[in-house]
Structure 1
Amino acid sequence: MNAARGFPAFPPQRAGARFATSWWGRAWIQAMEDTSLDHVLLRKGRAYAKTGQVGPITVSPGRIAAVTESEYDTVVRVEQLTDAAWERFLDQVAAKAGHIAALLDGDMPHDLVEAAEGASVPLLPAVGDLEPECSCPDWGHPCKHAAALCYQVSWLLDADPFVLLLMRGRGERELVEALQRRDAPAPAPDVAGPVGVRAAEAFAMGVPPLPEPPPYDVVFTPPALEPAPEVDVAALGILAASAADRARELLLRGRLPELTEHQDHVRLAAGHDLPGERARGLDAAVRAWRFGGADGLEALETPWTPPRQDLARAQSLLAAGWEGEHPPAPETWRNRWTFGSLQLRYGRDGRWYPFTERDGQWWPAGPPERDPATLTGQAAL
């Protein structure tokens, strides 16, 4: 049974104090902010968090809670992992000796989170995973009190990633003990018994997790092939390198996206510098793929109509992030907003892709951002 952990109230912070500095703490804030459609309440929540209007925080499995403004009971609920998901997570931690040491040292390794996601164990919350509740009369989702609580929790996550694991259902001591039991020596085999494992027991074990992918600095080098009649040896080398990249992605994410023939052609050209005729006419597509993969290519080639709430949230972010009195009014058409020589295109992945005009054609201009104000050159609040 996991006991709740209590944390004293944060005092008022100095001007310019930042919230999460760790990548997992920023991911926590991103999940909360992406759930909100009211940027004003988020801004008030940041102010409440920095001015010390949140009381002591209690973290327990599936729940964080505090009293805000000395009178409102504020709770944010987080979905707990199942026992089967915890077993898969422990498999990933035990697979690499440095993982548990990193967690105990206050670090959440990228490769651990990615491996856990590949095993269908979501450690970090996504949009909609946080459920705020508050006794205040505000109908915001989240209200300013719940937002303030989430912002302060990002400081707790910075200091101790086990806080996130406790929210997901298990505390530090329980996890360490479970890992120690896994490291215990196995009993000696019964030499007199039957050799092997019964089929029923083997099937009951389920599918084991995939091994960790190789490090990103390990580059696959295709074997040297001797020239042969009617065989394009260079093309075979490119295909072998492509297969190695796809295998890495499968190990990392547990699945491969389905690509059309055109998308796969662009992927190959973007990743392997296809020579001659293979890359001709794909300059813009290759550039889009390098910035955003299949989503970036779709932003280049396919207009679509986003949900109203997505565009309303983008308008709010743009207004809040503009330093002048009034943000510019873009020319809008479906998912495309044009600001003179700059065009922003909203992708189905929830990010805005920048394009600049060149010789009468729109060209991908950089990596996407969730906040359109960032791409217009204004400092987002």
Structure 2
Amino acid sequence: MTAARGFAAFPPQRAGARFATSWWGHAWVKAMEDTSLDHTLLRKGRAYAKTGQLGPITVSPGRLAAVAESEYDTVVRVEQLTDDAWERFLDQVAAKAGHIAALLDRDMPHDLVTAAEDAAVPLLPAVGDLEPECSCPDWGHPCKHAAALCYQASWLLDADPFVLLLLRGRGEGDLIEALQRRDAPAVPVSPGVPALVAFAAGVPPLPDPPPFEAAFTPPALEPARGVDVAALAVLAASAAGRAREILRRGRLPALTEHQDRVRLAADHDLDLGLDSAVAAWRYGGADGLDVLETAWTPPRRDLARAQALLEAGWEGEEPPPVETWRNRWTIGPLQLRYGRDGRWYPFTRRDEQWWPCGAPERDPSALIT
């Protein structure tokens, strides 16, 4: 049986401390927040988590537990994977050499989670997958104590994705031992082996693709009448860069003519009179440019969550007044704009206009503090 793991209580955090910096930690927090119908309890849970109101945390298969305020037993339950599901997950881990290396490096690869989902193995929780329990008199689902436990658990998940696998039923030692017991790869077939034996050996997995890091050397073009050789060199470098990204990521989003002009100016330091657009692109790509140029009305739920995050970032202090209009929130000399990618982009006043001034964050309070 997989042994439980214990973690010391988190001390009080600084104002503006963020939850879940990893993508899998974000998925954990989102599953809890999307289940909740009471943003006030979520705000209190964030405050409890940041001010160290929970005792040591115990993680065991299907169970996350702590004592809140020295008297309330708080538990969050997660469904464990079946033995068949674990075998399918191990198949996905073993199918790519980089998977186990990434896990041992405390990283959760996107493609591993996607492959596991395709094999009907849910690693990350979804809405309703986290079942909170608490001995406190609060009827919230989750109550502030269970919410605080989930928020603090995101810090554990950030540091070690094996915590998530332990909650699903097996810890690091169990997984490594199971992988070591699996059949060794098929022995390469040498010339002269009978066809039946060769076919029975199976096909070994392909190695990881090589890195695409070769520097681009622009072609040496001779000057010609009516031909801007420098512009052609820039376009060639741009095409090479886009091709390299396609090889890395499989595909790239289509860009409008305006977006492509901004991209070229940003990537190659071209003076096209697009200064603020170039700054927006460098901070957030097409999403950053859209935030600069377009105002839109986000879903109320997203705005309510952002308001709760702002309030939670100012525990013990009066939060600054916020002037809101659609996806643009102005707080003194700073304006935060909510992007369609779910991130908040900071802007500051410059030459009588709002100017992009930093990288985006999912937690708006991180940009204020």
TM-score for the superposition, normalised by structure 1: 0.71
User: Matches of residues 1-381 of structure 1 in structure 2 within 5 Å?
Assistant: 3-8=1-6, 10=8, 24=22, 28=25, 31-32=28-29, 35-36=32-33, 37=39, 38-47=42-51, 50-52=53-55, 57-60=58-61, 63-66=62-65, 68=67, 72=73, 74-77=75-78, 86-92=90-96, 94-95=97-98, 100=101, 103-104=103-104, 107-109=105-107, 113=109, 116=112, 125=124, 128=127, 131-136=130-135, 138-151=138-151, 153=153, 156-157=156-157, 160-167=160-167, 171-173=171-173, 175-177=175-177, 179-180=179-180, 181=182, 184=185, 186=187, 188-189=189-190, 191-194=192-195, 211=209, 213-214=211-212, 218=213, 220-227=215-222, 229=224, 232-274=228-270, 279-322=271-314, 326-376=318-368, 379=369
For 1:239 and 1:196, the matched residues in 2 are separated by: 53
For 1:133 and 1:57, the matched residues in 2 are separated by: 15
Q: Against the structure 1 CA distance between its residues 28 and 356, is the aligned structure 2 distance closer, same or farther, given a 3 Å change threshold?
A: same
Deviations 1:203-236 (A, max 9, x none): xx9x97962644xxx4632343232646554444
**CA shift for structure 1 position 72:** 4.3
Counterpart amino acid of 1:28? G
For 2:239 and 2:122, the matched residues in 1 are separated by: 29
Counterpart amino acid of 1:225? A
For 1:251 and 1:170, the matched residues in 2 are separated by: 35
Counterpart amino acid of 2:95? D
Gaps of 5+ in 1: none
Deviations 1:40-71 (A, max 9, x none): 12222445x6541x6x62432xx333364566
Q: Against the structure 1 CA distance between its residues 29 and 340, is the aligned structure 2 distance closer, same or farther, given a 3 Å change threshold?
A: closer
Deviations 1:292-314 (A, max 9, x none): 11111110011110111222222
Quote the RMSD (CA, aligned, Å). 4.4
Which stretch of the first structure deviates more once superposed, 311-320 or 344-353?
A: 311-320
Q: Against the structure 1 CA distance between its residues 288 and 22, is the aligned structure 2 distance closer, same or farther, given a 3 Å change threshold?
A: closer
For 1:33 and 1:272, the matched residues in 2 are separated by: 37
Higher relative contact order (CA 8 A, sep 6+): 2
The alignment partner of 2:4 has SS state of: strand
Deviations 1:70-119 (A, max 9, x none): 66462242796786665344334x148xx63x755xx325xx62564686
For 2:320 and 2:194, the matched residues in 1 are separated by: 79
Aligned residues: 348
Question: Percent identity at matched positions?
Answer: 48
